Structure 1
Amino acid sequence: MTAVTVRSAKPGRHADGNGLYLEVDPSGARRWLLRLMIQGKRRDIGLGSASLVTLAEAREMALDMRKLARNGGDPLAERRKVRQVVPTFKDAARTCHGEHKESWKNEKHAAQWLATLEAHVFPTLGPVKVDEIGTPEVRDVLLPIWLEKPETARRVRQRIGTVLDWAAAKGFREGENPVRSVTKGLPKQKDAVEHFAALPFADVPAFLSRLRETDQTGPLVKLALEFLILTAVRSGEMRGARWTEIDLDAKLWTIPAERMKAGKVHVVPLAPRAVTVLEKARELARKPDDPNALVFEGSKPGKPMSDMTLTMLLRRMKLEATAHGFRSAFRDWAAERTNAPREVAEMALAHTIKDKVEAAYRRGDLLEKRRDLMKRWARFCEGEAAKVVPLPKAVRA
């Protein structure tokens, strides 16, 4: 075939040799077609219009593709890679976030996930294409916060890794995720773990007495904090409680899985004082007869009480502790003042069992044992002293 033949060819398919064809439509449109075997399968690949691609160029393109196919490659896959538009890190992160957020437990986590990237990553890596990001680029992003904000830095590192793993799964990048080896180029973080400030358990009864008398906040906030202490739950679990979750007759509070950190239903036995607190809270409710209403509603109707509300109350009472720290006080009390088995106390706190063998064998919820433990904790918080029964002299002897 010659250049003249290409221009004068009649409608139909005309062979140039080695699988290269010129296809001519009845309308006169001309296009190049390459037929070859790719990994054992016959494929037809269009090489473009004959008005744009010359005979020499078509032969050169066909030769390159035949060489690639002969060596086990896939010319079609390579062409898709060339045509594929690689997104920037910012675009990839937003798309990845949109695909994953439905699987996360709450909207707050979803918002925080993207907010940390916007604050610490987008300013530098945002406009960079994901296939151009390597270990040095990730290290430079993490270094300014690695020691100053270690927990935030670790979360940012994990989220960068998630975005780059997503990009690899979509075919936008190849090779090992640079996040996996980035810590080798970063200074060592301190090993110490900062725990929530906790009030010593021996001081809890006196604090609760002060709490009931304080005028630093409204009555519903005081009841909310007392209920949190008596049940040893997390702040978010208490603040999101609804009347539909609570069975006052059975003295049980069933927290649904979607509101639990471990993603499992948690049943909380309610001591008599905890039931009394709930009854007082209902008297203060805006809609006491609404079974779906929040138990501890915030200042805005229909919205839960803010965690900062509890924090500010503790600050005004000049207490060097956090609301979450009362869980630690409960755990210390259970270990030092009771003979309750460890697993009962851990289950009362809804802690995840890290030992897989132990988790496999512990299938019950130890409800009755936990009910007794929570009653004893409530009596301790009330400041009840143990009853001392004098023994007869003969028995003492």
Structure 2
Amino acid sequence: MGNLTAVGIKKAGDGRHGDGGGLELHKSGDGGKWIWRYSFAGKRRQMGLGSYPAVSLAGARKERDRWALTISQGRDPITERAAAKAAAKAEMERHDPPLEQLALDVLEARKAGLRREGKSARWLSPLERHVFPKIGRKPVSTIHQADVKAALAPIWRTKHPTAEKAIQRLRIIFRQGKLMGFECDPFTIDAAQHMLGQVIHEAEPISATPWQELPGLFERLADRGSVASCLQFMALTVVRASGCRGARFDEIEGDVWTVPAERMKGQVGKVQDFRVPLSAAALDLVERRRALGGEFLFAGPRGKPVTDASLSKHMSDMGEEGRPHGFRTSFRTWVQDTDACPWEVSETILAHTIGGKVERAYARSDLLDRRRPVMEAWGQHVTGAQANVVPLRGLK
């Protein structure tokens, strides 16, 4: 028998009350906690056995005796209990994973079809920033539409494009989770979106430098390093930043630059290498960059391609309101204003998809020869070699 009694505990004041065998009640008011002190492998340890009065004196003694038996078997009670909890948690998560873990599993299953396996597109980014901190640790079976609504409500109207991406990702995760046999229903996400309400969001177009002002900007970018040269190359080729930033000298043969499919916009497996006819101005820029050595046309200080952020920052530092991606708009507007070339030629220059699936199955030409003189005329305009060029009216 120990030193404590059930009646004695009720009458006892605050403080430590020993029961023998290392068992103590640390009492505070009408409550307290049971602590068991023991030695293992020459070290003193203490182990919590529950709170009082939820765990009675008899219950605490039973737990003490159970773990004392573990010591007699040569095992540490705290280590054993931690291992048992971890195993129980793992078993529970195997049948009902937390949202964040399920999201990682779904990404793992889908990443083969994502650009750079989902890294460049930052597939989980909207969830990591706005959802996981609030409900990422909740088992998916316990997530209610109200939980999703509460997580996204702060950004639903102020950062709606990001919130919309989060909703889309969650819908995919819940749909895939259900197919994997977990207790989660995609309707939860649909209901949360309904609760969040409708938002009329008008996307702001990317700022573009007027095509009439490009010659002046091109001249201001001259001889200002890799970032500025990359911007010049983007203006001349109207290829997206992802294609230009990683441009390599071995991708250029003659006057044709072949952009690998992995740097083109679109789903993996649904985009192809894209040939770009280089104007005389673009080829001149390539040769000037080649003289500097290296494998990339536009390498930063550490030999890696310049970054997206550095391109936008450079234009901002110059006081230029247009964005790098806006060069594509500048070109398209030039085509419209000058009636420069047929629609299908300009769309192919921009690497846009033309026609339906059946039409594309038969019309497989990339119009390289028709694009070449257009890009030459555009290059002359951008560099100021010839103002207001209107090429190829005869090709209509």
TM over 0.5: yes
Q: Measured at CA, do residues 370 and 237 of structure 1 come closer, stay the same or move farther in structure 2, by a change above 3 Å?
A: same
2:229 pairs with one of 209, 223, 229: 223
1:140 aligned partner, one-letter code: A
CA contact under 8 A between 1:86 and 1:129: conserved in structure 2? yes
User: Would you say 1:148 and 2:158 are equivalent positions?
Assistant: yes
SS in 2 for 1:253: strand
TM (norm. structure 2) is 0.69
- What pairs with 1:181-192 in structure 2 (closer than 5 Å)? 181-192=191-202
CA contact under 8 A between 1:232 and 1:327: conserved in structure 2? yes
| Map of 2:366 onto structure 1 | 365
Deviation at 1:311, TM superposition (A): 1.6
Deviation at 1:171, TM superposition (A): 0.5
Using the TM superposition, name which of 316-325 and 107-116 deviates more.
107-116
| Map of 1:305 onto structure 2 | 306
Deviation at 1:326, TM superposition (A): 0.8
Using the TM superposition, name which of 153-162 and 103-112 deviates more.
103-112
| Map of 1:259 onto structure 2 | 263
CA contact under 8 A between 2:156 and 2:163: conserved in structure 1? yes
Q: Give the paired residue count.
A: 295
| Map of 1:273 onto structure 2 | 281
Paired with 1:282 and 1:226, the residues of 2 have a C-alpha distance of 15
Paired with 1:142 and 1:202, the residues of 2 have a C-alpha distance of 43
| Map of 1:168 onto structure 2 | 178
| Map of 2:52 onto structure 1 | none
Paired with 1:308 and 1:374, the residues of 2 have a C-alpha distance of 27
User: Would you say 1:330 and 2:323 are equivalent positions?
Assistant: no
| Map of 1:201 onto structure 2 | 211
User: Would you say 1:242 and 2:252 are equivalent positions?
Assistant: no
SS in 2 for 1:373: helix
* CA displacement 1:273-326 (0-9 Å, x = unmatched): 1000000001123x3xxxxx112111112x111122222221121111111111
TM (norm. structure 1) is 0.69
Paired with 2:233 and 2:142, the residues of 1 have a C-alpha distance of 53
Paired with 1:299 and 1:83, the residues of 2 have a C-alpha distance of 46
Using the TM superposition, name which of 89-98 and 314-323 deviates more.
89-98
User: Would you say 1:321 and 2:322 are equivalent positions?
Assistant: yes
> Identity of aligned pairs, percent?
35
Deviation at 1:122, TM superposition (A): 1.1
Paired with 2:93 and 2:165, the residues of 1 have a C-alpha distance of 34
* CA displacement 1:356-381 (0-9 Å, x = unmatched): 45544532111111111111101111
1:127 aligned partner, one-letter code: R
Paired with 1:350 and 1:192, the residues of 2 have a C-alpha distance of 25
Q: Measured at CA, do residues 156 and 353 of structure 1 come closer, stay the same or move farther in structure 2, by a change above 3 Å?
A: farther
Paired with 1:98 and 1:366, the residues of 2 have a C-alpha distance of 38
SS in 2 for 1:254: strand
| Map of 1:36 onto structure 2 | none
Using the TM superposition, name which of 229-238 and 363-372 deviates more.
363-372
Paired with 2:107 and 2:165, the residues of 1 have a C-alpha distance of 14
Paired with 2:184 and 2:134, the residues of 1 have a C-alpha distance of 21
2:279 aligned partner, one-letter code: A
1:160 aligned partner, one-letter code: L
SS in 2 for 1:314: helix
CA contact under 8 A between 1:240 and 1:296: conserved in structure 2? yes
1:155 aligned partner, one-letter code: K
Paired with 1:377 and 1:160, the residues of 2 have a C-alpha distance of 44
1:134 aligned partner, one-letter code: H
SS in 1 for 2:203: coil
Deviation at 1:137, TM superposition (A): 2.2
Paired with 2:389 and 2:170, the residues of 1 have a C-alpha distance of 59
CA contact under 8 A between 1:199 and 1:320: conserved in structure 2? yes
Deviation at 1:108, TM superposition (A): 6.5
Paired with 2:388 and 2:337, the residues of 1 have a C-alpha distance of 15
CA contact under 8 A between 1:101 and 1:110: conserved in structure 2? no
Deviation at 1:331, TM superposition (A): 0.7
CA contact under 8 A between 2:315 and 2:322: conserved in structure 1? yes
CA contact under 8 A between 2:93 and 2:139: conserved in structure 1? no
| Map of 1:135 onto structure 2 | 145
CA contact under 8 A between 1:220 and 1:284: conserved in structure 2? no
1:208 aligned partner, one-letter code: F
CA contact under 8 A between 2:279 and 2:375: conserved in structure 1? yes
SS in 1 for 2:220: helix
* CA displacement 1:200-222 (0-9 Å, x = unmatched): 11111121122227xxxx33332
* CA displacement 1:118-161 (0-9 Å, x = unmatched): 21111222122112223322222221111111111111111111
CA contact under 8 A between 1:105 and 1:258: conserved in structure 2? yes
Unaligned runs of 5+ in 2: 1-90, 391-396
1:299 aligned partner, one-letter code: P
| Map of 1:382 onto structure 2 | 383
Paired with 2:186 and 2:118, the residues of 1 have a C-alpha distance of 31
1:294 pairs with one of 268, 293, 296: 296
Using the TM superposition, name which of 378-387 and 146-155 deviates more.
378-387
CA contact under 8 A between 1:135 and 1:178: conserved in structure 2? yes
